[in-house]
């Protein structure tokens, strides 16, 4: 089978190799991977800036979709031909996460899924939405589920509330689409007039250009009669968290869903009115398989389709990584296997 392997740190060291196809154990499912999607995490793992403890050669990518090729003798939930998506946090099947359910993440504690065939425990898969292609389904495991878990499970998004989305990466675009499907008003930020038009086209009610308005929280307050929004998902970390907190109203929710500008959070309890305004800051990193299934049912009912920037072939894997790293994308970058 074909598989992408990282032989040492550096995107230039991603290669396509021929490997022996795996065989499923008694409780495993052999999945023919049809597509994978990339996340910011994939680029920093490949560069060695996330962790220097990788076993080389390393198969990358956490997000994937495909078809069940065969099942182990004790598997009861899946059959040959089922369309499936990979559950990123493998043991998080339902409820709140704990130490045990948080112990295995795809492409951390297990090999990644950028290969023609992978073996996955039967609990580590969810049914793919009937209305999506394999390429679209591959975008869901991290970005879409993070947005869903943050907005629906943690922030308890309600009809008529206002959500602030930040930028045009995967989590933010899914947050925009999910919030609109749930009947919310959406204010979106971007640094580009061209991207602003695209955000409007997929449902954003108002746009703030943060390049033109460095203190963009003031624009948020202006658009909300000085009150602020109910919910925002902060995807950049260090450079945006302060303005995220200043953008929300009393009892508001800030989900920290990324760290592309850094991991340090410079917070002032008094300046940001964290206590006096009863603000909630919640760490986010995907959700359970049960939540993933709920997301997929909602996708089918609303006919929501992910925003894909570009689909690359497996032989173009370096180009896909570089485009993501350079921030030239609008939506998800997908690799067809």
Under CATH, which architecture does the 144-283 domain have? 3-Layer(aba) Sandwich (3.40)
* Model pLDDT, residue 274: 76
Taking the CB of residue 52, how many other CB atoms lie within 10 A of it?
7
Tens digit of each residue's pLDDT (9 = 90 or more) over 173-216? 999 999 999 999 999 999 989 999 999 999 999 999 999 999 99
CATH 3.90.180.10 location in the chain: 2-139+306-336
* Model pLDDT, residue 260: 62
* Model pLDDT, residue 53: 78
Phi and psi dihedrals of 274, rounded to 5? -65, -45
CATH 3.40.50.720 location in the chain: 144-283
> Which CATH superfamily hosts domain 2-139+306-336?
Medium-chain alcohol dehydrogenases, catalytic domain (3.90.180.10)
Task: Using 70 as the pLDDT threshold, list the residues of the chain that sit under it.
Answer: 236, 259-263, 265, 268-270, 272
* Model pLDDT, residue 239: 75
Q: In angstroms, rounded to a whole number, what is the distance separating the alpha carbons of residues 337 and 37?
A: 10
* Model pLDDT, residue 278: 78
DSSP per-residue letters across 270-299:
TTTTTTTTT-EEEE-----HHHHHHHHHHH
Taking the CB of residue 138, how many other CB atoms lie within 10 A of it?
32
Q: List CB contacts of 102: < 8 A, sequence separation 6 or more.
A: 89, 91, 92
Taking the CB of residue 151, how many other CB atoms lie within 10 A of it?
25
């Amino acid at each position: 089978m074909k598989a992408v392997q990282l032989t040492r740190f550096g995107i230039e060291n991603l290669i396509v190799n021929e490997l022996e196809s795996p065989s499923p154990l008694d409780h495993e499912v052999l999945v023919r991977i049809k597509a994978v999607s990339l996340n910011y995490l994939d680029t920093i793992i490949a560069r060695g800036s996330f962790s220097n403890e990788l076993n080389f050669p390393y198969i990358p990518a956490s997000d994937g979709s495909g078809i069940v090729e065969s099942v182990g003798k004790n598997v009861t939930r899946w059959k040959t031909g089922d369309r499936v998506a990979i559950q990123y946090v493998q043991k998080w099947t339902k409820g709140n996460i704990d130490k045990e359910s948080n112990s295995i993440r795809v492409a951390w504690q297990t090999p990644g899924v950028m290969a023609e065939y992978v073996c996955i425990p039967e609990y580590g898969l969810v049914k793919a939405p009937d209305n999506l292609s394999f390429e679209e389904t591959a975008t869901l495991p991290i970005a879409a589920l993070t947005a869903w878990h943050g907005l629906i499970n943690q922030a308890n998004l309600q009809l008529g509330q206002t959500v602030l989305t930040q930028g045009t990466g995967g989590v933010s675009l899914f947050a925009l689409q999910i919030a609109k499907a749930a009947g919310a008003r959406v204010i979106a930020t971007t640094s580009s007039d061209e991207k602003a038009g695209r955000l409007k086209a997929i449902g954003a009610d108002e746009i703030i250009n943060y390049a033109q308005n460095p203190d963009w929280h003031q624009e948020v307050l202006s658009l909300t009669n000085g009150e602020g929004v109910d919910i925002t998902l902060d995807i950049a970390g260090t450079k945006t968290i302060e303005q995220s907190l200043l953008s929300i109203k009393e009892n508001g929710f800030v989900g920290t869903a990324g760290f592309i500008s850094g991991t340090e959070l410079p917070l002032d309890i008094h300046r940001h009115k964290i206590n006096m305004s009863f603000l909630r800051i919640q760490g986010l990193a995907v959700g359970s398989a049960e939540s993933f299934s709920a997301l997929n049912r909602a996708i089918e009912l609303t006919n929501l389709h992910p925003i894909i920037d570009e689909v690359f072939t497996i032989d173009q894997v370096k180009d896909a990584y570089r485009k993501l790293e350079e921030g030239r994308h609008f939506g998800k970058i997908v690799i067809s296997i």
